[in-house]
Amino acid sequence: MRMNWALMLTLPILAAACGGGASDAAPAGGTGGAETAATAMDDLDGCSIVTAEEVSAALGGPVGDGEDRGLVGCGWRTESGATVVLQVFAGSMLASGTCDGQKFLVSGREEEIPDLGDSALWGTSGDLVVCDSRAVLKIDIDNTPNSPEEDRDAAVRVARAALARLGA
């Protein structure tokens, strides 16, 4: 998997700028239900919201169990060395705002993906960033024998599985 240092530096900024307008603060006289929901979202990572079976179905072939990749990420690998990495930014990692910075996280020519979260961009070098009111998802697909279009479609399938688990 390629290391993208610009991503490592800008993803926390995007996560702060991208999210739903909901506050984590409890309403006056409330018990903090929103805080509890935000705490639950903080516990999410790529391995907890997408299964190896879902990644296998997306790629069209078997993958191993998900492995912690740090920075709220999870990675899956095929026997041939293709990889899928999913990073999830949710809960208190998100703040009110929009995902205007989303295009800084994709590499190559950008393509908007309609009807996926609030907005989604595919970078032709294998990056999909999905902004949703509950989470920002970053999916990287590398080293597959597939066409860029097939990789894009696989990344979209992984994103749809993740969003479904988030209750989208």
Q: Give the mean pLDDT of 105-132.
A: 85
> What are the tens digits of pLDDT across the range 58-90?
988 899 999 987 767 899 999 888 999 998 887
The pLDDT score that the predictor gives to residue 8 is 39
- As a whole number of angstroms, the distance between CA 87 and CA 6 comes to 15
Which pTM value belongs to this model? 0.72
Angle at 114 between CA 109 and CA 118, to 5 degrees: 105
- As a whole number of angstroms, the distance between CA 160 and CA 9 comes to 26
pLDDT(41) > 80 = no
Of residues 164 and 10, the one with the higher pLDDT is: 164
pLDDT(125) > 90 = no
The pLDDT score that the predictor gives to residue 56 is 93
> What are the tens digits of pLDDT across the range 11-35?
443 444 344 433 333 334 444 444 4
> What are the tens digits of pLDDT across the range 43-61?
566 788 899 999 999 988 8
The one-character DSSP state at 103 is G
The pLDDT score that the predictor gives to residue 21 is 38
- Mean of pLDDT over the chain: 73
The pLDDT score that the predictor gives to residue 123 is 87
